[in-house]
């Protein structure tokens, strides 16, 4: 890749973007609700890594300026004063001599050495800008993954809260059946064990939720973060919903074998309104093919483009090293003034010279060989980076499609296990089903909810990974 007009325009465009105001951010305050974009903006504004990469761009800009400085003239100035006093038998004299001089030296032609130096530093600048873009993408996608992890942990926490309440209600009902002589003591003890397990699962869910929030704050560089909540994005919707509409049927009244009407198992329906697993969730399959994803990745993935820029740098460095043999054409102009009590002189001179300095042919030859080796390394690094782009996109794409296929299956499984739970609950309530059948149905239903939450989270995580592999954010 040559330093074409296209690349220069790209470089100037990136400079314009970087000179724009800092990322806008809404403050995340105590008890506020933060969106995904709020978290991303906060991270981009507070990331120490992004600030470091910004400074590296400024350094690269300065190096471009330093390389260009060879086109500008150099100025030299001097001034002096001499006092001379002589005494002898017939001599007693003194003199004061003032002198001043100024010189100007201008490089006329370097046979391409300065041009190569400027091109190399411009390529360094382009690489630094791509590195900055890559850090921004990495930061954004890290925030996304941790944001979705919190949402999934929160949804799972709600499921576990619901599970504890359902087990508490189930324990009360089993205890009542035992008091009436309808079930044995072992059913009560078993239900106590299930309730204890549900409480342990709730504690684990609470820990997972808190740790997920810590990881999100770390990704955002948010120290001493206040208590705040997250607003579910459109492509996740908290995974909390269709239990709302399908579990409402469970809260119907049932009749005991003795003809009395039992209190409905209302906790199943009312708690589901809180869990709200799938409300508003609209699953949209990914709309790009693998070939399209790869094409996008090779065009815009910053880390790959940065490696290509460094290969171009290595190519230009060979040219620069080979030109070390060539001389410099330089022009000069000088003016000198000497003023004393005996005489005054003025002199002005111009000149042009073609010269080399301190040529060591062995050293230059070895530097050329080193540059050629560095170019070969750069080419292999570019090839390796291209393979990394290809395989990371391919792996992320396969993972995304796999999760995409799982979601409707697990969604249907939630319905199926819920229906089975409804039937087992109704059978147990009228004395036709046994305790083990009921508990198996409840555990299967609870596991199906958790599996669905995890699948939606995995889908979003796979989508973020694919976007990262494509160089998107």
CATH classification at residue 232:
1.20.1600.10
In angstroms, how far apart are the furthest CA atoms of the chain?
Answer: 151
Phi-psi region of 238 (alpha: psi -120 to 50; beta: other; left: phi over 0): left
Short-list 37, 211, 63, CA closest to 124: 63
The CA dihedral of 25, 30, 31, 32, to the nearest 10 degrees, is -10
For the packed helices 302-322 and 290-300, what is the interaxial angle rounded to 10 degrees? 40
Q: Which residues of the chain have pLDDT under 70?
A: 1-26, 88-91, 233-284, 341-342
Cα–Cα distance for residue pair 41/24, rounded to 1 Å: 6
In a domain, 340, yes or no: no
Angle at which helices 5-18 and 48-68 cross, to 10°: 130
- C-alpha 334/C-alpha 321 separation (Å) is 32
Total domains in the fold of the chain: 1
Residue 6: what pLDDT? 43
**94 is a domain residue:** no
Rounded distance between C-alpha atoms, residue 331 and residue 67, angstroms: 19
CA dist 442 and 422 (Å) reads 9
Query: Is 83 contained in some domain?
Result: no
Long-range contacts, stretch 279-282, CB < 8 angstroms, 24+ apart:
279/237, 279/238, 279/240, 279/241, 279/242, 279/244, 280/237, 280/241, 281/236, 281/237, 281/239, 281/241, 281/242, 281/456, 282/234, 282/237
Is residue 24 one of the residues assigned to a domain? yes
Q: Is 149 part of a structural domain of the chain? A: yes
How many angstroms separate the CA atoms of 464 and 473, rounded?
Answer: 8
- 399 in a domain, yes or no? yes
Whether 307 maps to a domain, the answer reads yes
Tell whether the torsion through CA atoms of 184, 190, 191 and 192 is positive or negative: positive
The residues, ordered by sequence, that sit 6+ positions from 49 with a Cβ below 8 Å of its Cβ are: 135, 139
Q: Among 59, 203, 182, 163, which Cα is nearest to 443's?
A: 163
Q: What is the pLDDT of residues 264-299, one digit of tens each?
A: 343 343 333 334 444 445 566 788 888 999 999 998
> Does some domain include residue 85?
no
Q: Which domain holds residue 252?
A: 5-72+111-327+360-470
pLDDT for 31 equals: 79
Instruction: Give the pLDDT score at 203.
Output: 92
- Give the global pTM: 0.70
Ramachandran angles phi, psi of 472, nearest 5°:
-110, 165
98: β partners = 81, 339
Q: What is the pLDDT of residue 268?
A: 40
């Amino acid at each position: 890749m040559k330093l074409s007009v296209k690349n220069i325009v790209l470089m100037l465009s990136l400079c314009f973007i970087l000179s724009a105001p800092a990322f806008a951010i809404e403050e995340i305050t105590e008890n506020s609700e933060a969106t995904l974009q709020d978290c991303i903006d906060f991270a981009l504004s507070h990331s120490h890594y992004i600030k470091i990469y910004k400074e590296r761009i400024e350094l690269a800009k300065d190096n471009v300026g330093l390389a260009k400085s060879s086109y500008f003239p150099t100025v030299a100035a001097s001034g002096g004063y001499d006092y001379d006093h002589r005494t002898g038998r017939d001599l007693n004299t003194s003199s004061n001599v003032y002198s001043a001089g100024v010189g100007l030296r201008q490089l006329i032609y370097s046979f391409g050495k300065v041009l190569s130096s400027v091109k190399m530093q411009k390529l360094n600048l382009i690489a630094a800008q791509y590195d900055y873009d890559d850090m921004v993408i990495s930061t954004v996608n890290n925030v996304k993954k941790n944001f979705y992890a919190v949402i999934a942990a929160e949804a799972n926490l709600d499921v576990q809260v619901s599970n504890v309440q359902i087990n508490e209600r189930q324990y009360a009902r089993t205890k009542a059946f035992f008091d009436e002589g309808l079930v044995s003591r072992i059913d009560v003890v078993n239900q106590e064990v299930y309730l204890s397990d549900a409480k342990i699962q709730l504690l684990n869910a609470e820990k997972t939720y808190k740790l997920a929030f810590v990881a999100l704050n770390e990704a955002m560089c948010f120290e001493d973060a206040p208590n705040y909540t997250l607003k579910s994005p459109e492509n996740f919707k908290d995974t909390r919903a269709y239990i709302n509409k399908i579990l409402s049927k469970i809260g119907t009244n049932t009749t005991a074998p003795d003809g009395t009407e039992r209190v409905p198992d209302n906790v199943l329906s009312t708690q589901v309104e809180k869990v709200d697993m799938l409300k508003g969730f609209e699953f949209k399959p990914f709309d790009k093919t693998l070939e399209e994803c790869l094409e996008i990745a090779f065009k815009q993935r910053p880390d790959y483009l940065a490696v290509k820029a460094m290969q171009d740098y290595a190519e230009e460095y060979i040219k620069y090293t080979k030109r070390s043999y060539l001389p410099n054409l330089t022009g000069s102009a000088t003016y000198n003034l000497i003023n004393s009590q005996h005489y005054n002189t003025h002199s002005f001179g111009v000149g042009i010279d073609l010269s080399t300095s301190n040529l060591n042919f062995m050293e230059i030859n070895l530097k050329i060989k080193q540059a050629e080796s560095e170019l070969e390394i750069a080419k292999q690094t570019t090839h390796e980076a291209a393979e990394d782009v290809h395989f990371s996109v391919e792996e992320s794409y396969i993972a995304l499609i796999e999760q995409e296929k799982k979601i409707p299956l697990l969604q249907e499984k939630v319905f199926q296990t819920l229906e089975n739970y409804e039937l087992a609950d109704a059978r147990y309530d009228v004395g036709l089903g046994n305790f083990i059948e009921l508990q198996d149905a409840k555990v299967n239903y609870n596991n199906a909810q958790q599996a669905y939450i995890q699948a939606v989270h995995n889908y979003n995580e796979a989508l973020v990974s694919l976007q990262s592999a494509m160089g998107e954010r």
